[in-house]
Structure 1
């Protein structure tokens, strides 16, 4: 199936919605597209919606961790929301939720970051 990616900017927040499979074939494309958007637009925070992502491997975790570190360097936040059970298990096993916040949905994440939806 591959990966469908939707980037939406809401004020100073980049909303990233992933749909499908994030594996090593898709990771490089996602990484370059995401970095390009972060460099071109004034983005302070990222919300990553994983509701429709049903498969991810370690290369996908690497892409997400890299963008998380970019946000940290600029004193921004990355918030994960609406995660599927399959992908949540990978995040749990990797320890990613020790550093990243997980919330129920986009609306809550936007409110948490001070952006009205």
Structure 2
């Protein structure tokens, strides 16, 4: 039998001038989505974030719950007068995002600086 070992989700972030860059773990799936949502909502509220950038540098897998995480934060940020961007999206994540139609709302940028410049 194969068992997938449950491990804690890894999420790192940097906040500067009410802009937050979030680097997500290797996998964003239903096992970690709720934990990611809760942590991001807490950080957004505590720091009055205006620009949220998801950095997918370390992400190798994402399922539909990852789309839910992004869309929920998009709605939250819009309600607060803010915005969301994506950077360092690999081919797999790109396909998932395209299929979801999320690019009609959230854009992919070349770098953190580019995203902040266009979203602020």
Normalising by structure 1, we get a TM-score of: 0.90
- Post-superposition Cα deviations, 1:13-72, rounded to whole Å, max 9, x if no partner, equal 011111300110010110111111111112111111112211001111101100000011
Runs of 4+ with deviation above 4 angstroms: none
Q: Highest Rg: 1 or 2?
A: 2
SS at match of 1:51: coil
SS at match of 1:24: coil
Aligned length: 114
- Is residue 54 from structure 1 mapped to residue 60 from structure 2 by the alignment? yes
Query: Cα RMSD between the aligned structures?
Result: 1.5
Q: Which residues of structure 2 form unaligned runs of 5+?
A: none
Greater strand fraction, Structure 1 or Structure 2: 1
CA distance in 1, matches of 2:31, 2:89: 21
Normalising by structure 2, we get a TM-score of: 0.88
Q: Which residues of structure 1 form unaligned runs of 5+?
A: none
